[in-house]
Amino acid sequence: MDKHIRKSANEAAEKIIEWGESQKIETCFERAEKMKPCPIGETGACCKMCHMGPCRLVGKNAEEEVVGVCGASLGTVVARNLARMIAGGTAAHSDHARDMAFTLLAVAEGEAKDFQITDVRKLYRVAGYLNIEFEGRPVIDVAKDVATTLIEDFGRQKGEINYLSRAPKKTQERWKKWGVAPRGIDREVVETMHRTTMGVDHDPDHILLQGLRTALADGWGGCMISTDITDILFGTPQPVKAEASFGIFKEDEVNLVVHGHEPTLAEKIVDVVSEPEMIAYAKSKGAKGINLGGMCCTANEVLMRHGIPTAGGFTNQELGIMTGLVDALTVDVQCIMPAITELSNKFHTKVITTSEKAKMKGAVHIEYDEHRAKEVAREVVRLACDNFQNRKATGSHITDKFPMIAGFSHEYIEYMQGGRWRGSFRPLNDAIMAGRVRGVVGLAGCDNPRVPSTGLHRFLATELIKNDVLIVSTGCGSAACGTSGYLTPEMALENAGPGLREVCEAIGIPPILHLGACVDNSRILTIASAMAAEGGLSDEIGGMPAVGIAPEWMAEKAIAIGCYFAASGVPVIFGGESPVGSSQEVTRIMTEVWIERFRGAMHFEPDPEKMLEIALNYIDNARAALKLRPYEPGRFGTERVLMDMAARREIERGVAKPHIGL
Ligand code: XCC
Ligand code: SF4
């Protein structure tokens, strides 16, 4: 790890930050230095569930001796705070998913003329999961049934949300046994808010179980619904080439950036920017054309499907404006820093709010409406063009950019392992069983100005692939890798361990697979389920040589995601100070107790070297428990690889018999 203290580990970002300092322009990086985290709230020990408090449960033996005015123990307070973070995160993903479901319904009912069903195969696949008849029926009718059925998952009062049935049987049994199978998405969020309000649920373990039930509603509900419907409406991603970092902005074109999380308006902007009238309009304002880019997860959505370049993740949003090249920045929902409107005044950038849910003082509001989506998109583009003329000379111009490959969906990963008719997870499972691939890590979550931003992602990405661990990444974790130049097949050649490199070369993939936005963490759940079904590894998600890591997380959504992985059977490691750190009881439940019940856990560990160590330990222990060949670094080095490959050819020709490991 680069011990030299910088604000961002990304060279281009660091240059802009330094330029900003010279101009006395403040960003989240300086604010993070000035605003030290409250040490009581940071570890979960502050309760403000009622106005007899806020109560701060601190002191040497706080866990045993200190209680709130009402008598709440530290464990109760800490568990309640965590459960509320899960509820907040679940609400965010799921409300986004709800809007997607209503858009699908509007399309099916002919009310959203600017949208179509793009991926009928995916629609049928989803209909299959939901037991909806699709053969011989009009596509639009199937879409309507799919939308209606999924919308019911939000308001369902009893029973279970539909997609739980996509998990391996054993995983489902664990959920039943511990009473954490979510009934309806909204119901679990509401119940968590109820149970954590003053004077209701006081047993930390019991509170945390409801937290997990809510988190599962997020993963197998909100996130998965959002991913599926987005695929149905806009296409299931396949690998695309794109570019990342600030150099994606063009000096002589109108730069329009989409930021936030929801793909609907952004998709329409993608459609209209290439319309001749729009390009003519841009030219009439003196620009050579229109250049569309993205930030955060809206970027990931249009990057995965159209190769739209990304300026990066969360901590790049202010820095993007500081290039002085952004003519308009549309924002929808989530992870939008309120600081950007004030900052944009120092430049010429127009910040445009587009969601009826989110307004900002100092922004222009152009409200998205699915009934006239393209019209709204054109209005946005025109405003960006109009503003091109107002560009000032100020700004930190950066030319760095990196090529990247994005767009790995579950469906594509299956396809690339055997083509359209023989697609399966067999080759990947075999590679893990043989020890060519040591295990899989989901590297996800935010980037954070409290550490050298993107640096922990970079460190873990390089170390993990060096150790023959395949990485699947999402959200700002992907953006961190992309803006560092890590999302290319060449990365495998240069940095991956020999076993992983061999697999990457054979299948033709990079060692870090960009799976999409944060809601697309659901793709990791479906991949893990497919690997369990394929056989040879664990027959449930738990017990796989797989780990989740969110080294720089900051959002409540990240906590919801971490907890749904833990409840699904994946050990998860989060960076930073532990938000449950003040309670040993809660910490123990989230690690030791959860691992026993669900085979997943949630650790908090600020030191990246230790994160790596914990992750590799989990992977190696899982390998041992599955009686797989112990991982040996370098075993699949060149000579051995060639011998094995020759042997494999003999086996395929029926000349030799397979032996263990081949
Ligand atoms: Fe937000 Fe999705 Fe975190 Fe990035 S990773 S800072 S949540 S944009 Ni989701
Ligand atoms: Fe204090 Fe209890 Fe009120 Fe929390 S609920 S603020 S611990 S009195």
Relative to the alpha carbon of 76, which ligand is closest? 2
In this structure, the residue with its CA closest to atom 2 of ligand 2 is 70
Is 69 near ligand 2, meaning CB less than 6 Å away? yes
Work out the pLDDT band at 489, boundaries 50, 70, 90.
Answer: confident
Query: CB under 6 Å to ligand 1: residues?
Result: 261, 296-297, 313-314, 335, 445-446, 475-476, 518, 555, 557-558
Ramachandran sector of residue 110 (left: φ over 0; alpha: ψ -120 to 50; beta: rest): left
Give me the residues paired with residue 88 across strands: none
> How much is the pLDDT for 430?
94
Mean pLDDT of the chain: 94
Work out the pLDDT band at 422, boundaries 50, 70, 90.
Answer: low
Give me the residues paired with residue 247 across strands: none
Q: Which atom of ligand 1 is nearest to the CA of 261?
A: 2
Mean pLDDT of 566-584: 98
Return d(Cα 607, Cα 600) in angstroms, integer: 21
Alpha carbon of 587 to ligand 2 centroid (Å)? 21
Relative to the alpha carbon of 554, which ligand is closest? 1
> How much is the pLDDT for 447?
97
Relative to the alpha carbon of 93, which ligand is closest? 1
Mean pLDDT of 235-256: 97
25-31 own/partner pairs: CB under 8 Å, 24+ apart? 25/322, 25/343, 25/346, 27/318, 27/319, 27/322, 27/339, 27/343, 27/449, 28/315, 28/318, 28/337, 28/339, 28/449, 29/315, 29/449, 29/453, 31/339, 31/449
Summarised one tens digit per residue, pLDDT across range 439-454 is 999 999 999 999 999 9
Q: Which atom of ligand 1 is nearest to the CA of 447?
A: 6
Is 649 near ligand 2, meaning CB less than 6 Å away? no
> How much is the pLDDT for 35?
96
Summarised one tens digit per residue, pLDDT across range 108-152 is 999 999 999 999 999 999 999 999 999 999 999 999 999 999 999
Q: Which two tokens stand for residue 626?
A: 């599955």
Give this prediction's pTM: 0.94
Name the E strands within 444-500.
Answer: 469-474
Alpha helices in 256-399 (DSSP H): 263-273, 276-284, 296-306, 317-321, 339-345, 373-388
Is 66 near ligand 2, meaning CB less than 6 Å away? no
Summarised one tens digit per residue, pLDDT across range 47-76 is 999 999 999 999 999 999 999 999 999 999
In this structure, the residue with its CA closest to atom 8 of ligand 1 is 296
Relative to the alpha carbon of 476, which ligand is closest? 1
Q: Which atom of ligand 2 is nearest to the CA of 71?
A: 2
In this structure, the residue with its CA closest to atom 5 of ligand 1 is 446
Neighbouring residues of 247: CB distance < 8 A, sequence distance ≥ 6:
12, 398, 399, 400, 401
Q: What is the DSSP string of 590-633?
A: IIIIHHHHHS-EEEE---HHHHHHHHHHHHHHHHHHTTPPPP-T
Which of the listed residues 49, 66, 194 should we mutate to test ligand 2's pocket, taking the one with most ligand atoms within 8 A of CB?
Answer: 49
> How much is the pLDDT for 335?
98
> How much is the pLDDT for 643?
57
> How much is the pLDDT for 62?
96
Is 78 near ligand 2, meaning CB less than 6 Å away? no
Q: Which atom of ligand 2 is nearest to the CA of 54?
A: 6
Neighbouring residues of 35: CB distance < 8 A, sequence distance ≥ 6:
none
Return d(Cα 105, Cα 419) in angstroms, integer: 32
Relative to the alpha carbon of 555, which ligand is closest? 1
Q: Which atom of ligand 2 is nearest to the CA of 198?
A: 5
Alpha carbon of 586 to ligand 2 centroid (Å)? 18
Alpha carbon of 52 to ligand 2 centroid (Å)? 6
Is 177 near ligand 2, meaning CB less than 6 Å away? no
**Does residue 661 register a pLDDT over 50?**
no
Relative to the alpha carbon of 67, which ligand is closest? 2
> How much is the pLDDT for 490?
84
Alpha carbon of 498 to ligand 1 centroid (Å)? 32
In angstroms, the Cα distances linking 442 to 99, 104, 259, 461 are 27, 29, 23, 10
- Choice between 262 and 658, residue whose per-residue pLDDT is larger: 262
- Of the listed ranges 46-50, 165-169, 326-330, 649-653, the least confidently predicted one is 649-653
Taking alpha carbons only, the member of 313, 342, 376 closest to residue 26 is 342
Is 67 near ligand 2, meaning CB less than 6 Å away? no
Which of the listed residues 90, 218, 227, 446 should we mutate to test ligand 1's pocket, taking the one with most ligand atoms within 8 A of CB?
Answer: 446
Q: Which atom of ligand 2 is nearest to the CA of 53?
A: 6
Summarised one tens digit per residue, pLDDT across range 338-352 is 999 999 999 999 999
In this structure, the residue with its CA closest to atom 6 of ligand 1 is 446
> How much is the pLDDT for 3?
44
Question: What would the 3-class secondary structure string for 539-589 be?
Answer: CCCCCCCEEEEECCCCCHHHHHHHHHHHHHCCEEEECCCCCCCCCHHHHHH
Work out the pLDDT band at 655, boundaries 50, 70, 90.
Answer: low
Is 55 near ligand 2, meaning CB less than 6 Å away? yes
In this structure, the residue with its CA closest to atom 1 of ligand 1 is 335
Mean pLDDT of 607-611: 98
Alpha carbon of 76 to ligand 2 centroid (Å)? 10
> How much is the pLDDT for 4?
44
**Residue % of the chain over a pLDDT of 70:** 95
Alpha carbon of 184 to ligand 2 centroid (Å)? 29
Mean pLDDT of 461-481: 97
Q: How many CB atoms lie within 10 A of CB 406?
A: 30
Mean pLDDT of 91-103: 98
Is 53 near ligand 2, meaning CB less than 6 Å away? yes
> How much is the pLDDT for 248?
97
Q: What is the DSSP string of 486-501?
A: -SSHHHHHHHS-HHHH
Taking alpha carbons only, the member of 377, 365, 372 closest to residue 269 is 377
> How much is the pLDDT for 505?
87
Relative to the alpha carbon of 444, which ligand is closest? 1
Measured torsion, CA atoms of residues 36, 40, 44, 50, in degrees rounded to the nearest 10 = -120
- Choice between 398 and 520, residue whose per-residue pLDDT is larger: 520
In this structure, the residue with its CA closest to atom 3 of ligand 1 is 446
| Contact in structure between 69 and 197 (CB atoms under 8 Å) | no
Relative to the alpha carbon of 77, which ligand is closest? 2
Summarised one tens digit per residue, pLDDT across range 311-347 is 999 999 999 999 999 999 999 999 999 999 999 999 9
Residue whose structure tokens are 């990196």:
402
> How much is the pLDDT for 649?
61
Is 198 near ligand 2, meaning CB less than 6 Å away? yes
In this structure, the residue with its CA closest to atom 3 of ligand 2 is 50
- Residue 14, classified by CB atoms within 10 Å of its CB into exposed (0-12), middle (13-18) or buried (19+), is middle
> How much is the pLDDT for 508?
82
Return d(Cα 327, Cα 342) in angstroms, integer: 15
Mean pLDDT of 225-229: 98
